[in-house]
A = this chain, B = another copy of it.
Amino acid sequence: MDIQLPHFDSVFSTDCVIFGFEAGELKVLLIERNEEPYQGWYALPGNIVGLEESVDNAAARILYELTGLRDIHMRQFHTFGEVNRHPQGRVVTVGYFALIRIGGQKEVAPLTHFARKAFWHPVNDLPKLAFDHTEIFQRAFKKIRVKMNYEPIAFELLPEKFTLTQLQNLYEAVLNKKLDKRNFRKKMLSYGFLKELMEKQKGVSYRAAKLYKFDRRKYQKIFQTELAAQGAVAS
């Protein structure tokens, strides 16, 4: 492998950790790289930020090119600035994460030759990833586990209409912990941002469960008043 790769003096890139939920498992979107370095390796979707685009925009563009996913709400979580994280020179990367409905989008597929394929992989039992992407992934995973306790990010992973059991399964998968059914339901419903639909689950061979959807407008109303009241260590 004596290909001469270009050297980067000082560039920034973004890497995206996209989570999905499928078959009761939390998954992450990976690509198979089709270019050196790390050709053939699995990696997080990521690339160099252009000079004429903001880092936020670059993250969205790169994700689209590598996976076909668009209009994803991505949030920055950490910047990785070690000196030797990239073999071609100095590359500082800004990490983003997002949570999406796996079924809700068209199938993921790269739009450039840069990635050979894009696919979902369970977060447990990940292979070794290119560059320091294992570390980047770990950090994102930890972030969403913590965040799930105080923000309604779980709903981004579920279909629009879901049952309470599905919601609970998701929490259990992410938090890696069994929850009590009655207490879980009581608490979720007490927030007041779940809207009970007139519909029921279809196609199951047992009693069908009620469907709910997440009412973002209500959530924001509640969350705003909480923010105002927030900050308590003691009264």
Contacts and interface: CB of A to CB of B under 8 A. Distances in A.
Contacts of A82: 54-55
A106 B234 CA distance: 34
Interface stretch (A15-23, A179-187, A200-208): A179-187
Given A11-B10, A81-B94, A94-B79, A179 B55 contact: no
A226 to B, nearest CB: 12
A231 B175 contact: yes
A232 B186 CA distance: 14
Nearest to A186: B234
B9 A12 contact: no
Number of copies: 2
A176 to B, nearest CB: 8
A224 interface: no
B179 A234 contact: yes
A148 B230 CA distance: 12
A183 B56 contact: no
Interface string A1-12: 000000001111
A179 B233 contact: yes
Interface of A: 9-12, 49, 51-56, 58, 76, 78-79, 81-83, 90, 92, 94, 145, 148-149, 171, 175-177, 179-180, 183-184, 186-188, 230-235
Given A9-B51, A183-B235, 8 more contacts: A10-B12, A54-B83, A92-B94, A177-B231, A179-B234, A187-B234, A188-B233, A188-B234
